[in-house]
Chains A and B, each alone.
Chain A
């Protein structure tokens, strides 16, 4: 409501700016004119002459020239200001009163978002925003990596989360950094390839394919690399090759492998025989996405916990940890963390106060 009040005030101010001169009495106004300029020029010549900057003959010539201009301008001065034209003034006043607000609203409504309040960053990090715990955590890990870009474990954690959030090209960069600082293995190479495929909208590009080839060179049985090489063959139109790759993969696969269904479905797509599936496996396969995501969050929370064990003075960190446990539904761990936090800051009255206040905000006893 305040917003509309401010808008109304601003509109009134704008209308007033138009109405104010219209309402004033028509006093004769101080107005510049050419005659004044030429008179000043004449005075200037006298000054220059006195200072010896110009000779007497030149001054005389200049006087004659300016005198001519003075005469000409006096002849062509515009007619003096007429009495007010009441009809036009009323029309303009009416237009300002009605037209200005109409124009303003007509332009503002399609463009503006009056229903959105401001979101300055300082305010947002203070209040817990349970809707986006993942994005918040990602941002924190990114900030951490900004300062410690060689922390390979950080990149390892960040990369799959970025991929899940659909930030594929950033995920590619994270995987590359992970390989650079953790060393390469078949799994990381295959993950990188997968991210490149995702960034390319599902097409197995040459760049991605070379990553899968490297993965196979490190471990010929890596399932992800094998699967994507099959996909590459399918996309190249070599369906027979694709089927062969996937059949070999299924033959070597452990019976409880979570990706079995995916490979079997792909095999069926290219016309290969797919063995029947148990309902149980199907159900398990559906769960994968959710589980993986949880695992990521858990990994990050655990990292936070271990950091706090080493350095317990970070009140905000403790609060985040407690909140994370609550969100994950692990109230016992939350209680343990709370006790740890109290112990860690017990010697510092100011921090203890902050901690207790924060806990109150979380709905836990202070």
Chain B
């Protein structure tokens, strides 16, 4: 009964979404409060039904009900409980259900906390949400139904892909989806604004928390996925410019641009039309990411044909929503009123520059990801666009962006003083030079660009800190007064500083890891010693062990540095006989922010085993950076105060430009 109830709940959610997608629209046109309020109760009821549908699927997986095809194909009775639960979204059907559940969650949240919105705006936004939801409910029910049954159920399931049997699956997809789907709210707000034909600074104030929430989760989701790949795949790589990764990076870049342009709109009522376009693009890229990952088009263009209905269905959703919203944008954008004015050198100008670089970077990734696919469809020729392409195009775009980052917060609104800002960044520049000198003196080997990149990162970090120091007037007033002023600063200022410093921190990690990473790859016998970056690793022995649904070969390494013994390391290799496949479990030894990394390869007949040992200096900074950024986002989110961009009064009215 659980299975059928879950199925029926999903169907009812579709019915409610259909009603929600037109009744509030009519209500908003007629200015009828009751009809508009249908949006609210329908969104809440939708959340209730989708949530119970999701809970039903979880219950089916936990009790190993193999009469449900989805459970049979992706579960196994001997799997540990945590992987029975996470396995719910470790497959296509279940992950789509999670997608709509999160969509309903955002709709329900907007319905319950959106009392500060004008009634008609809320009705429009929830209607647009319901369009998206209806499309995806139909997609799930028609092509990827997780509740289909098997009349004579098999006694045992086929098990989950072993690589996915990891704690990473519990965290990574839900976070990523919270990010992807969260951007649907800013999309709905944008469409609502276009339909209503009214948009202003208040709009940006209302949409801000939603964009921030989505951005925070997407940042964490991407970082988490990268760390998961790092320790689970056994190659020590953390970013592969793999199309699936790019699919999540594109909405992040566009979403970051959106955050910044919405800031200009909220504070200065400028960049309105551009912000609307970015809202549409960000969610479109999220949809594109879902399409690329879920249609099977990525693993190979030919996998598309293996289940054409799914691919074609998502492609249709994609065309309708992206095409429809862009057409609406083209028709209505010109009717939106222009906003505030600003000079090229100003906070607004800096944010426009940021937007230009971020959207160009996003376009680069877009081309690098989709060009090979398009070429293969048209000519059948297979090319791979990998790290060299992205390093050559993405890198040069990010260097000027990073240089500009500390300047932004230092400039005044409307018209800024570049020389003044540069003077205030003297300390940061000095710190960068010191870092450059130190890095050059210490570096042994590696690219000559690496010390420069580290200097840039230090510039960004110290630049973010000097913004805080500047605002709290540190060094100019007595220390106690400065501390009081610092505590009185809006939390969004602190958030900005943390997020900007986070980029610098991540950059240091990236540069150090790629430049001074040392490795040992080779065969090693018990009692042999491998030497990597001053560490001595002695293979003590190999043992076999039986896990719940796998066999495990574990190696024991004694690690010592300059004769001082450290914690022993135990990398292992698991073989899963149900699927006839194996996974590597790398062993990690953390020293500060650096890590020693061992993963096992194949075993030879003479008892020797292939090992890959890496020493990765400061590698953890790569993920601490995004965590800092997300923390900055949380600080900014917790700042409930209104934001005002106090413009610098004009001395002369020359050099002003229209915002759009």
Which residues of A does B touch, CB under 8 Å? 2-3, 6-7, 10-11, 13-14, 17-18, 20-22, 24, 26, 29-34, 36-38, 40-41, 43-45, 47-48, 51-54, 57-62, 65-66, 69, 72-73, 76, 78-82, 84-85, 88-89, 92, 95-96, 99-100, 103-104, 107-108, 111-114, 116-122, 124, 132, 135-136, 139, 142-143, 145-147, 149, 173
- In the complex, chain B residues whose CB is within 8 Å of the CB of A20: 41
CB <8 Å contact, B646 and A54: yes
Closest 5 CB pairs of A and B: A17-B45, A120-B63, A21-B37, A32-B116, A121-B64
CB <8 Å contact, B65 and A118: yes
Identity of the chain B residue whose Cβ is nearest the Cβ of A170 in the assembled complex: B580
Tell me, yes or no, whether B277 is within 8 Å of chain A by CB.
no
Identity of the chain B residue whose Cβ is nearest the Cβ of A116 in the assembled complex: B149
Known: A51-B488, A118-B1. A108 touches B577 (CB 8 A): no
Known: A48-B646, A108-B8, A118-B3. A81 touches B201 (CB 8 A): no
Which residues of B does A touch, CB under 8 Å? 1-5, 7-9, 11-12, 14-16, 18-19, 23, 26-27, 30-35, 37-38, 40-42, 44-45, 48-49, 60, 63-67, 77-78, 115-120, 141, 145, 147-149, 151, 153-156, 198, 200-202, 205-206, 268-269, 340, 412, 414, 471, 485, 488-490, 546, 549, 551, 577-578, 580, 641-649
CB <8 Å contact, B156 and A139: yes
- In the complex, chain A residues whose CB is within 8 Å of the CB of B12: 10-11, 14, 100, 104
- In the complex, chain B residues whose CB is within 8 Å of the CB of A82: 30-32
Q: How far is the CA of A61 from the CA of B490 in the complex (A)?
A: 20
Q: How far is the CA of A89 from the CA of B24 in the complex (A)?
A: 11
CB <8 Å contact, B1 and A3: yes
How far, in Å, is A276 (CB) from chain B's closest CB?
A: 44
CB <8 Å contact, B141 and A107: yes
Interface of A is mostly: helix
How far, in Å, is A188 (CB) from chain B's closest CB?
A: 19
Most buried by A among B33, B41, B205: B33
CB <8 Å contact, A29 and B119: yes
CB <8 Å contact, A31 and B118: yes
Q: How far is the CA of A38 from the CA of B577 in the complex (A)?
A: 65
A–B complex contacts, Cβ < 8 Å, 20 sampled: A18-B38, A24-B37, A34-B118, A40-B642, A44-B642, A53-B489, A57-B649, A58-B646, A62-B644, A65-B268, A76-B198, A82-B32, A84-B34, A92-B35, A108-B8, A113-B149, A118-B2, A118-B3, A146-B577, A146-B578
Q: How far is the CA of A82 from the CA of B30 in the complex (A)?
A: 8
Q: How far is the CA of A318 from the CA of B19 in the complex (A)?
A: 59
CB <8 Å contact, A48 and B65: no
- In the complex, chain A residues whose CB is within 8 Å of the CB of B115: 30, 32
Residue from B4, B60, B201 within 8 A of A69 (CB atoms): B201
- In the complex, chain A residues whose CB is within 8 Å of the CB of B1: 2-3, 6, 117-118
CB <8 Å contact, B205 and A37: yes
- In the complex, chain B residues whose CB is within 8 Å of the CB of A7: 5, 8
Q: How far is the CA of A60 from the CA of B205 in the complex (A)?
A: 22
Residue from B30, B45, B63 within 8 A of A13 (CB atoms): B45
Residue from B11, B65, B577 within 8 A of A104 (CB atoms): B11
Known: A21-B41, A57-B649. A111 touches B7 (CB 8 A): yes
Residue from B48, B64, B644 within 8 A of A45 (CB atoms): B644
Residue from B48, B148, B645 within 8 A of A62 (CB atoms): B645
- In the complex, chain B residues whose CB is within 8 Å of the CB of A60: 649
Q: How far is the CA of A37 from the CA of B642 in the complex (A)?
A: 8
- In the complex, chain A residues whose CB is within 8 Å of the CB of B200: 34, 69, 72-73
Identity of the chain B residue whose Cβ is nearest the Cβ of A13 in the assembled complex: B45
Q: How far is the CA of A142 from the CA of B577 in the complex (A)?
A: 10
CB <8 Å contact, B8 and A104: yes
How far, in Å, is A154 (CB) from chain B's closest CB?
A: 12
- In the complex, chain A residues whose CB is within 8 Å of the CB of B578: 146
CB <8 Å contact, B201 and A37: yes
How far, in Å, is B325 (CB) from chain A's closest CB?
A: 23
CB <8 Å contact, B641 and A44: yes
- In the complex, chain A residues whose CB is within 8 Å of the CB of B117: 31-32
How far, in Å, is B636 (CB) from chain A's closest CB?
A: 15
CB <8 Å contact, A104 and B63: no
Known: A13-B45, A17-B44, A29-B33. A100 touches B8 (CB 8 A): no
Identity of the chain A residue whose Cβ is nearest the Cβ of B40 in the assembled complex: A21
- In the complex, chain A residues whose CB is within 8 Å of the CB of B33: 26, 29, 81, 84
How far, in Å, is B101 (CB) from chain A's closest CB?
A: 17
CB <8 Å contact, A108 and B155: no
Q: How far is the CA of A284 from the CA of B157 in the complex (A)?
A: 38
- In the complex, chain B residues whose CB is within 8 Å of the CB of A6: 1, 5
- In the complex, chain A residues whose CB is within 8 Å of the CB of B119: 29, 31, 81
CB <8 Å contact, A108 and B546: no
- In the complex, chain B residues whose CB is within 8 Å of the CB of A132: 155
Q: How far is the CA of A113 from the CA of B145 in the complex (A)?
A: 13
Known: A29-B33, A58-B412, A103-B18. 17 other contacts (CB 8 A): A14-B49, A17-B44, A18-B42, A40-B642, A45-B644, A58-B646, A61-B649, A81-B31, A81-B33, A84-B33, A88-B27, A88-B32, A88-B35, A104-B8, A108-B8, A111-B145, A139-B156
CB <8 Å contact, A79 and B31: yes
How far, in Å, is B56 (CB) from chain A's closest CB?
A: 10
How far, in Å, is B439 (CB) from chain A's closest CB?
A: 37
Residue from B7, B42, B551, B642 within 8 A of A108 (CB atoms): B7
Q: How far is the CA of A58 from the CA of B3 in the complex (A)?
A: 63
Q: How far is the CA of A121 from the CA of B62 in the complex (A)?
A: 10
